[in-house]
Structure 1
Amino acid sequence: MRSFKRRQFLKTLSLTPLSLSLFLPAAKAMDCNVLHPLMPPQTQFQGQCPVCGMVRPMWARTWIRFKPLQGVEQVCSFHCLADWIIKTGRNPTDIMLAVYHNPGKMIPADKAFVVLGSAAAGTMSPVSKIVFDDKTKAAEFAEHCGGEIVDFPGALAAAKSSVLKENTMVKARQLKKGKIVEPSETDRCPVCNMFPARYPYGKCQIQIKSGKTFHFCSTQCLFAFMGKQSLYVDTPVEPFLIWVVDRNSGMWTSGRTAFYVIGSSKVFGPMGYEAFPFNSIAEASAFAAENGGTAVGYGGVSVEKIVPEWRYPLKVFKTTE
């Protein structure tokens, strides 16, 4: 009797969807849905993507490193790598890619097999790019989770083809999540006390890890603040995210990967002399050719370079952090 009941139970169990999952190999069931981003963040990974601001402790599965190019040596994804290539007009060298299922391991780009467009979660793009160090594993993954196997150039070409369109969606998402904060009508610049919301192409901001945002009316004030914080706040802050507005498109872009035109004597901003931000070196160079000045990266900007014979103003008021 017991044997009969046991057989009936197993027969019933075999007809349910749950029973199918019980007998599938665990690795197969998890292949398409590994934890990404990593939560809680894994602190053995260090680094921040200067293009979008995301951190490696969370996004290590898709991390990319390369020989320093214009002050940048790591990004979070193929999307941000493609963005940086477009910004600089140059291709990085010595590129290393994280292996998606083993993010502590990084391999040369020319040794990678990338599954493009699978069901697995990617980074910064709806079309995931999952890196493997073994072609057989990549093929098994693609069979189970979808997508096609491409080499590194193929994956990068796909990222380049969609990055500009994706950036519009990314910026909308960053605004919605508070990674970028539009200044309100009452927010004041901590350097000059003007209202940043009144200067749509001058406004810029610093966000610290706590989420507090400092709004500035202009890049002149942004770099003045960065140069000598003690004049403007009681406690110095460490910028986590820096955002400026691309002069051509009016779209927010990372201050760390923007290109700036300094020294123009034909065009002025809210505070007079400015470091005019652009999304790419080509756009910055074209502006400089027409309006004078020099196109430089973030590391080449300081308030002393923006304003001839700069002198720090007297402290009028302070923001308490």
Structure 2
Amino acid sequence: MNASKRPVMLAVLLLLTALSPTSGAAPVDTPSPAPTDTCPVCGMFVAKYPDWIATVRYQDGHAHHFDGAKDLFKYLLDLPKWAPGHQAGQIAIIAVTDYYSVTRIDARQAWYVIGSDVLGPMGHELVPFETREDAQAFLQDHAAKRILHFDDVTLKLLGDLDAGRFPQ
């Protein structure tokens, strides 16, 4: 390649890299909840809140749906309470709904914002995003307090959210 074409090729590669969705969680295919499916944690009808749906699909194909990431994490962090007889190793997919695109994404790769002025079906929520950049933009636009990743979420943090406290 001659030297005069290198800057153009570099610019094209940078543009394609910037436009590719490789920096966040990959979209995942999960079953949709039926109108009668209820959240195993709070009992709410999940299909009423399509913008907030979270799903755990087990290897045998059955799924549990949640009305938001907060109840999903309560379930995952205390599986014996919410799903007796189920083991974490039996879980095939954990998905949350990206706030901006309203698509299901891998919960383990997602970014979560807490302490914003946006409420979910159960009040203060972990608002999921595919990319850290989207989470950062939301944090600034919605007076939020903190960005978390999957492994940062604890039962104490969930209790704080329920109480309207947002730890830094």
**TM-score, structure 1 normalization:** 0.41
- Which of 35, 44, 53 is the equivalent residue of 1:185? 35
User: What does 1:1-321 correspond to in 2, within 5 Å?
Assistant: 160=17, 163-164=20-21, 171=27, 175=29, 180-238=30-88, 239-264=91-116, 266-291=117-142, 292-308=144-160
Whether the 8 Å CA contact 1:262–1:305 is kept in 2: the answer is no
RMSD: 2.6
What is the letter of the counterpart of residue 235 of structure 1?
G
Question: 5+ unaligned residues in a row in structure 1: which ranges?
Answer: 1-152, 165-169, 312-321
What is the letter of the counterpart of residue 278 of structure 1?
F
Question: 5+ unaligned residues in a row in structure 2: which ranges?
Answer: 1-9, 164-168
- Quickly say closer, same or farther: Cα 1:289–1:158, change in 2 above 3 A: closer
What secondary structure, in the 3-state scheme, does the structure 1 residue paired with 2:148 have?
strand
Equivalent residue, structure 2, for 1:150:
none
- Quickly say closer, same or farther: Cα 1:162–1:283, change in 2 above 3 A: closer
What is the letter of the counterpart of residue 233 of structure 1?
A
Deviation at 1:261, TM superposition (A): 0.2
Whether the 8 Å CA contact 1:274–1:307 is kept in 2: the answer is no
CA distance in 2, matches of 1:275, 1:309: 8
CA distance in 2, matches of 1:276, 1:262: 7
Whether the 8 Å CA contact 1:304–1:310 is kept in 2: the answer is no
Deviation at 1:278, TM superposition (A): 0.6
- Quickly say closer, same or farther: Cα 1:290–1:306, change in 2 above 3 A: farther
CA distance in 2, matches of 1:233, 1:210: 15
Q: Which digits, 9 at most, give the CA deviation of each residue in 1:170-216, with x for residues without a partner? A: 85xx64xxxx1111111111111111111112110111111111111
CA distance in 1, matches of 2:104, 2:126: 15
Deviation at 1:307, TM superposition (A): 3.9
What is the letter of the counterpart of residue 120 of structure 2?
G
What secondary structure, in the 3-state scheme, does the structure 1 residue paired with 2:160 have?
coil
Whether the 8 Å CA contact 1:229–1:236 is kept in 2: the answer is yes
Deviation at 1:251, TM superposition (A): 1.0
**TM-score, structure 2 normalization:** 0.75
Percent pairwise identity: 28
CA distance in 2, matches of 1:218, 1:260: 12
